[in-house]
Chains A and B, each alone.
Chain A
Amino acid sequence: MSSATSAHSVVEPSARTKRIAGIIVVLYAVITMVPLAWIFMTSFKSPPDSISYPPKVVFTPTLEGYCNLFTTRTRQTPEYIQSLGPPQSICDEITRGRNMVIAGPSNYWPRFTNSMVIAFGSTFLAVFLGTLAAYGFSRFRVPLADDLLFFILSTRMMPPIAVAIPIYLMYRELGLSDTALGMILLYTAVNISLAVWLLKGFIDEIPREYEEAAMIDGYTRLQAFRKVVLPQATTGIAATAIFCLIFAWNEYAFAVLLTSGSAQTAPPFIPTIIGEGGMDWPAVAAGTTIFLVPILVFTILLRNQLLRGITFGAVRK
């Protein structure tokens, strides 16, 4: 008993414990990274390599997937291709090698841009409105505050798709179907409950003495909010923004249902990339790889804030 309990030192885990913990963490990370790594590799494979069996781990990388992702192509006779001048780009060269010529740009870039506009737009709105609402709930005696907060949260108690049909009908009536504005409003509405609850927690932690001091120091409440509360809530705002952005960026069900053309986002578009004779998996993988980049950059930029945000309250500042 005594020897067993002495191992449970509060000072520092033993080297062996640390090693085992490290192995478990690395193993788990590897397992979760495999699908991502596989997509990344597939994006550099040729179409035959991407569907070969057994799957190829070693292969000759090619940019064909990326070329196919960004272009539309037409098949031409070898004589016609011969008659053309020298290839304009690496994609030109790859395409001609397959007896095709580039006919024009694909829809990927516009869809990607839609995703950017809609995800960042709705994140901004959700965080902006969420911060103000959370501040209100945190600082003022709002009648029926608890009921209102519960009501706000209750919008998250079912899968969003459960209300898809009413929303579809409503959007059609209002002319919001397949518009960026419609999608921004929708994602804002879904995210705002998360934003209000998260941010209320963060703002509750900021002592109100700070604003009161600022108000006595000659600032109005709104100025005090901007000068004193906002700078201290940045951690919470950053964490909330990341969660909202991840939702809006990855959302698929509403995007499929409510967008088809000009406002379509990348998630419903990527699976529709079809090459000659079936799915063009390298192009799909290329689309997915590029799709990961913005969220990765955003998360890395706000990484420190996010870490502090998650441990908020656990550590004394």
Chain B
Amino acid sequence: MAEVTLAGISKTFGQTEAVHNVSLTIRDGEFVVLLGPTGAGKTTTLRLIAGLEAPDSGRITIAGRDVAGVAPATRDVAFVFQQYSLYPHLTVYENLAFPLRSPARRLQDAEIDARVREVAKMVRIDHKLQNRSTRLSGGEMQRVAIGRALVRKPAIYLMDEPLSSLDAKLRAELRLELKRIQSELGATLLYVTHDQVEAMTMADRIGILAEGKLVQIGTPREIYSNPANLHVAARLGQPHINLLPQGLLPGCSAPAGTKTIGARTEHLEISASTPGNAEIDWIEHLGDQNHLHIRVGEHKLVTLADPYLAIQRGDRINLKLRNPLYFDAGGQRLT
């Protein structure tokens, strides 16, 4: 395992700038998640580190070595793709052994066998080693794909939305497993996703990418509670953060220049009272919690409420802010 640094990396495809001046250090043994919507440059960043693309400018170092011009095979990285992750003409065993049998490594058969079986156990696929890789369920395929990366001990693991094609239950399981494996191995891992839950649960640090730029990087807690701007604030939180004009709701002391107030569930205090300043528009019952759709004048907002809160559709309530987030006209956070 080793430290990987990006310094001022840019990459343009035709007219579109996929990655713009990104600088990032992934420390030895750290789990970094890049979070951003489709087209934010997440995958391109991974491909640049892997050597599948060459940056237009900037420097990438892996374990202190500048890797400009170094072929992917000798960069000592492992990559898990979003899909098409297994070689369809090979068995599970052969898929796992494939990186070890490469001309770049040439391990002894006995060593290959030992490593394959060890990793197969780790990703819990050891009962299907002789299966054709096309005869697996989606979850098994992704486990093998992750296993094929883990079978090596590279400087860094690069993972491109490895769980996105799976159903919710499997995703939750593999999320835990992946985090467990990473901390067991002390692996350096750069993980790309658009799923905020994956980012929040697995990352040591989250980097928020938007339109090719690294907007903010920090621990999940920092990113969540101290977003640098509106974009970052909007990436995290379920339900989505409510963006309200300054002065709509009482209970805050906005700094000068505040244009927009961001209010998540924990920033809203609800009390049932008439006449109140808001009205319940709709309630979604999720069982363990309720989604309240609230209308304040022309504005609509969504918040969570505990299921025992005795309110109904059409009720008037009193809504108050408690330490919300303040943003200026340019969307920058004000504190």
Contacts and interface: CB of A to CB of B under 8 A. Distances in A.
Main secondary structure of the interface of A (DSSP, over half): helix
B270 interface: no
B78 A317 contact: no
B88 A213 contact: no
A245 to B, nearest CB: 24
Interface in B152-206: 152
Interface in A182-232: 207, 209-210, 212-220, 223, 227-228, 231-232
Interface string A241-253: 0000000000000
Contacts of B88: 232, 317
Contact of B81 (A209, A215, A228): A209
Contacts of A213: 79, 81, 85, 87, 148
Contacts of A227: 98
Contacts of A219: 73, 102-104
A212 B83 contact: no
Given A209-B81, A223-B103, A317-B88, A215 B134 contact: no
Contact of A217 (B52, B99, B134): B99
A209 B89 contact: no
A145 to B, nearest CB: 15
B84 to A, nearest CB: 4
Contact of B84 (A207, A218, A223): A207
Given A218-B103, A219-B103, A317-B134, A212 B52 contact: yes
A215 B104 CA distance: 10
Nearest to A217: B99
Nearest to B77: A216
A50 to B, nearest CB: 51
A100 to B, nearest CB: 58
A121 B88 CA distance: 31
Contacts of B84: 207, 209-210
Contacts of B51: 216
Nearest to B145: A213
Contacts of B8: none
A24 B72 CA distance: 57
B72 A215 contact: yes
B50 interface: yes
A212 B75 CA distance: 13
A309 B88 CA distance: 17
B128 to A, nearest CB: 19
Given A213-B79, A317-B134, A218 B85 contact: no
Given A215-B71, A219-B104, A228 B87 contact: yes
Contacts of A223: 102-103
Interface of A: 207, 209-210, 212-220, 223, 227-228, 231-232, 317
Given A213-B87, A216-B75, A231-B89, 20 more contacts: A207-B83, A209-B81, A209-B84, A212-B52, A212-B79, A212-B81, A213-B148, A214-B87, A215-B52, A215-B71, A216-B72, A217-B102, A217-B152, A218-B99, A218-B102, A218-B104, A218-B105, A219-B103, A219-B104, A317-B88
16 contacts: A207-B84, A210-B87, A212-B72, A213-B87, A215-B73, A216-B50, A216-B72, A216-B75, A216-B77, A216-B78, A217-B73, A217-B99, A218-B103, A219-B73, A227-B98, A228-B87
